Chain A
Amino acid sequence: MMNTDMDRNEFKHVGKNLKASQEIKRPSLSYWKDAYRRLKNNKVAMLSFWVLVILIIMSAIGPVITKNLYGHTYESQNLAEQNQTPIMTNARSIALLANDVFEYDKYLSSYRKDKTTFKNVRLKSPGKIGFKIGNAADESWQGDKKEYQLMIEVSSSDTWSSIIEKLNNEGQRLLQEDPDFRGIKFEKKGSNLVIETVGEKWFNKTHWFGTDEFGRDLFTRLWEGGRISFFIAFISVFIASIFGIIYGGLSGYIGGKVDEILMRIVEILMTVPDMLYTILLLTVMDPGIKPISIVLIVTGWMGTARIVRGEVMRLKHSEYVVAAKTLGADTKKIVFEHLIPNAMGPIIVNMTMMIPKMIFAEAFLSFIGLGVPVPYASWGSLANQGARIFRQFPHQLLIPAIAISLTMFAFNLLGDGLRDALDPRLRK
């Protein structure tokens, strides 16, 4: 057992400290600080946030980088460098010139035609097989204007293996004649004939993301497009939200008949999909950055108005509003200093969710030809341009596609995270 005897003198009476009991020990957390703390713990949302930050920074500095390094601008054309890819190869293209010898079901070419596969080949008759290797028009690819002809005679005693050997030998001979030929390889894989030309591969140092059909630098155009897409999205969301806040705030605060009429108008406008209005309005105005933003504002404010009205309706009978009224605050003060700030959470979530919609709308409009006029680039117009020659040059669609999708993805995830963070009811 422990010795519990203690000397009374060892203790001292300190008295009551009423002040200390009233003190708030932990720093007070405002709504925004609390929301930020919770958002910070949401890894997905934070990752999305940083992805967006990087995309926005790149849009700001991307065109500047390439302009200073290589002098590219979004509109500078160079027809000698058209349709380059990020990874360059100087392998020459293959085209069938003459073929008496074999039949095939179909052939597949890689987009540069430096690899060709004939499916399910069958020997037919003796005669000539000839290929054209290289193409003068591909100068920007192969680095010269050289073209070669590879031709062999096939006799009736030849089998597939001897034909392949003949073809490869002929390739060797051409290579020895002119080292610029770079070589070719014929192979029989199962029932398929596979032909591949040899070439070096290197990273495209002057055009990091390749070029488009006019030889314009895609890296520059992508970030220039990002500027336009982000600008259109941000400005239209911002102005649409302000208008929606004023409209919805007044409607919710005044209530009664006015609210009824204002909300009926919104309801009617919302029945028809935005896209229909957007297209109609854009036909009235000439396409450009300003008209697109105006159109997106005109069609985008209704959602915000509804949300704000709902929030204001919910808040306007709360104690602090009643208190403010009793103290003599006027309508303007109550709406803009009490109601709107307290409704800010849902408004911000709504704004975050609206941005990807605007980016999508812009891309949609560019796609049907109502977007920003040439030579301007927006992500939508880049995707539209890329989609047309997607089969030959997939990167021209994939690069803007990744940018658009990543942005929409990140904004959606960030919006979800913000919703969780800004809703005090979800606090753990």
Chain B
Amino acid sequence: MLKYILKRLLMALATLWVISTLTFVLMHALPNDPFTDPKLKPEVRQALRVKYGLDKPLSEQYVIYMKNLLKGDLGTSIKYPGRSVSDIIAESFPKSFALGWRALIIAVIFGMLLGIIAALNHQKTLDYLSIFIAIIGVSIPSIILGPILAYFFGVKLGWFPVTVDKSEISLFLPSLTLAMSSLATISRLMRTTTLEVLGQDYISTAKAKGLSKTQIVLKHVLRNAVMPIITILGPLFAALITGSIVVEKIFAVAGLGEYFVSTITEQDYPMIMGITIFYAALIILSILVVDIMYGFIDPRLRISGKGGE
């Protein structure tokens, strides 16, 4: 198990290195840098380039960047002078995260519920209804779902605010929009795995023992069916993070996604690199944690001692 964790950690670090290098190369392949504004005087431009270290040869810039990265220093923003990238991330990420974890909870709880209900009513109305909801969830992208939800529940019915402020309720619509596609994915997966579990011998045994339906579902079905859900939590988290970029734009959340999009058009190198690496690290870490957790949770993997291979 320890060997497995170490191996995975090493892989994660390698991935992170590849990504930061790739980002660096891509950023410097841009045809122009942040200071190509024709209104800038050449000397000013030169001074700015020196200030941000853009005048040095590329290899040297790379070494400097990597050294700083190891120290956890992501550099200073060009668009917001005097503010370090880490500061901006630290300030804006909590707003994205507030959306993210709510969406994750909505998606997991309702997705699982929907999937189980569907499987228990296999090929009955409820099953078809939940499949329908799931397919709708995958087919309507958030760029459409967001404005429509905002219009009907925010403007027409006036139940929820359409922009995010400090209140808890204002986070509901964006979280729901963000959760919808993950909810659909989970419910589809949950339905298949629950159906599989329901066909197992131990369920027949439990029935033969005279356990009630609730007991069977809670003790036997749920525990076994939930395993595959845990494996996709990592990628799901990644999907929520990228999905957040759009949702933040629709509901005017000043989160990290908003910054990411705006800095791209501004060609703010340190910000783009910083946020990409931050996102990547977050996703890699979450996938890693989920995989390791899986090794601990699933008794079959625990006994075999191989752990998640």
Question: Do A and B assemble together?
Answer: yes
Say whether, besides A273-B283, A390-B151, A384 and B138 are in contact (CB < 8 Å): no
Closest to A281 in B: B26
Whether a CB of chain A sits under 8 angstroms from the CB of B109 is no
Whether a CB of chain A sits under 8 angstroms from the CB of B88 is no
Whether a CB of chain B sits under 8 angstroms from the CB of A209 is no
- Separation in Å of the B144 CB from the closest CB of chain A? 4
A360 touches B147 (CB 8 A): no
A387 touches B250 (CB 8 A): yes
- B69-109 at interface with A (beta carbon < 8 Å): none
Whether a CB of chain A sits under 8 angstroms from the CB of B242 is yes
The answer for the CA separation of A153 and B112 in the assembled complex, in Å, is 63
Whether a CB of chain B sits under 8 angstroms from the CB of A401 is yes
Say whether, besides A283-B267, A387-B147, A405-B140, A367 and B246 are in contact (CB < 8 Å): yes
Closest to B12 in A: A271
The answer for the CA separation of A367 and B145 in the assembled complex, in Å, is 13
Contact residue among A268, A275, A281, A360 (Cβ-Cβ distance under 8 Å from B14): A268
Q: Which of A273, A275, A281, A401 has the largest count of B CB atoms less than 10 A from its CB?
A: A273
- Separation in Å of the A270 CB from the closest CB of chain B? 9
- Among A18-26, A255-263, A408-416, the one that faces the other chain is A408-416
B283 touches A397 (CB 8 A): no
Closest to A279 in B: B264
Say whether, besides A272-B19, A275-B242, A284-B26, A401 and B148 are in contact (CB < 8 Å): yes
CB-CB under 8 A from A405, the residues of chain B are 139-141, 144
- B137-179 at interface with A (beta carbon < 8 Å): 138-141, 143-144, 146-148, 151, 155
Whether a CB of chain B sits under 8 angstroms from the CB of A369 is yes
Whether a CB of chain B sits under 8 angstroms from the CB of A294 is no
- Separation in Å of the A1 CB from the closest CB of chain B? 51
A367 touches B143 (CB 8 A): yes
Closest to A416 in B: B135
B26 touches A364 (CB 8 A): no
- Among B60-68, B272-280, B294-302, the one that faces the other chain is B272-280
B143 touches A363 (CB 8 A): yes
Say whether, besides A364-B143, A383-B143, A284 and B284 are in contact (CB < 8 Å): no
CB-CB under 8 A from A413, the residues of chain B are 135
Whether a CB of chain A sits under 8 angstroms from the CB of B245 is yes
- Separation in Å of the A332 CB from the closest CB of chain B? 31
- Separation in Å of the A265 CB from the closest CB of chain B? 9
CB-CB under 8 A from B129, the residues of chain A are none
CB-CB under 8 A from B280, the residues of chain A are 271-272, 276
Whether a CB of chain B sits under 8 angstroms from the CB of A226 is no
Closest to B152 in A: A394
A404 touches B147 (CB 8 A): no
- Separation in Å of the A178 CB from the closest CB of chain B? 35
Contact residue among A273, A280, A370 (Cβ-Cβ distance under 8 Å from B23): A280
Whether a CB of chain A sits under 8 angstroms from the CB of B212 is no
Interface size of B as a range: 35 or more
Whether a CB of chain B sits under 8 angstroms from the CB of A380 is yes
Whether a CB of chain B sits under 8 angstroms from the CB of A356 is yes
Closest to A361 in B: B141
- A9-38 at interface with B (beta carbon < 8 Å): none
A412 touches B138 (CB 8 A): yes
- B3-53 at interface with A (beta carbon < 8 Å): 11, 14-15, 18-19, 23, 26-27, 29-30
Say whether, besides A283-B30, A409-B135, A404 and B144 are in contact (CB < 8 Å): yes
B272 touches A280 (CB 8 A): yes
CB-CB under 8 A from B221, the residues of chain A are none
A408 touches B241 (CB 8 A): no
A271 touches B283 (CB 8 A): yes
- Separation in Å of the B174 CB from the closest CB of chain A? 14
Closest to B260 in A: A279
Say whether, besides A273-B283, A283-B30, A380 and B143 are in contact (CB < 8 Å): yes
Whether a CB of chain A sits under 8 angstroms from the CB of B205 is no
The answer for the CA separation of A282 and B11 in the assembled complex, in Å, is 27
The answer for the CA separation of A224 and B155 in the assembled complex, in Å, is 31
CB-CB under 8 A from A96, the residues of chain B are none
CB-CB under 8 A from A368, the residues of chain B are 245-246, 249, 261
The answer for the CA separation of A367 and B248 in the assembled complex, in Å, is 12
CB-CB under 8 A from A406, the residues of chain B are 139
Closest to A409 in B: B139
B261 touches A369 (CB 8 A): yes
A271 touches B284 (CB 8 A): yes
Whether a CB of chain A sits under 8 angstroms from the CB of B200 is no
- Separation in Å of the A102 CB from the closest CB of chain B? 21
- Separation in Å of the A276 CB from the closest CB of chain B? 6
Whether a CB of chain A sits under 8 angstroms from the CB of B239 is yes
Closest to B265 in A: A369
The answer for the CA separation of A8 and B184 in the assembled complex, in Å, is 74
Whether a CB of chain A sits under 8 angstroms from the CB of B238 is yes
Q: Which of B19, B27, B147 has the largest count of A CB atoms less than 10 A from its CB?
A: B147
Contact residue among B26, B148, B245, B265 (Cβ-Cβ distance under 8 Å from A280): B26
The answer for the CA separation of A231 and B14 in the assembled complex, in Å, is 36
- Separation in Å of the A190 CB from the closest CB of chain B? 17
Q: Which of B138, B139, B140, B284 has the largest count of A CB atoms less than 10 A from its CB?
A: B139
CB-CB under 8 A from A412, the residues of chain B are 135, 138-139
A360 touches B141 (CB 8 A): yes
- Separation in Å of the B263 CB from the closest CB of chain A? 9
CB-CB under 8 A from A124, the residues of chain B are none
B264 touches A283 (CB 8 A): yes
A273 touches B143 (CB 8 A): no
A364 touches B139 (CB 8 A): no
The answer for the CA separation of A413 and B138 in the assembled complex, in Å, is 11
B144 touches A401 (CB 8 A): yes
- Separation in Å of the B51 CB from the closest CB of chain A? 22
B246 touches A276 (CB 8 A): no
**Can you list 7 residue pairs at the A/B interface with Cβ under 8 Å?**
A268-B19, A272-B280, A276-B242, A279-B261, A280-B276, A387-B143, A387-B144
Interface residues, chain A, with chain B CB atoms under 8 Å away: 264, 267-268, 271-273, 275-276, 279-281, 283-284, 356, 360, 363-364, 367-370, 380, 383-384, 387, 390-391, 394, 397, 401, 404-406, 408-409, 412-413
State the 10 A-B residue pairs at the shortest beta-carbon distance, nearest first: A409-B139, A275-B242, A408-B139, A401-B144, A387-B147, A367-B143, A273-B238, A268-B15, A390-B147, A283-B264
5 new A-B contacts at CB < 8 Å, known A272-B238, A276-B242, A364-B141: A273-B283, A360-B141, A363-B141, A391-B151, A404-B141
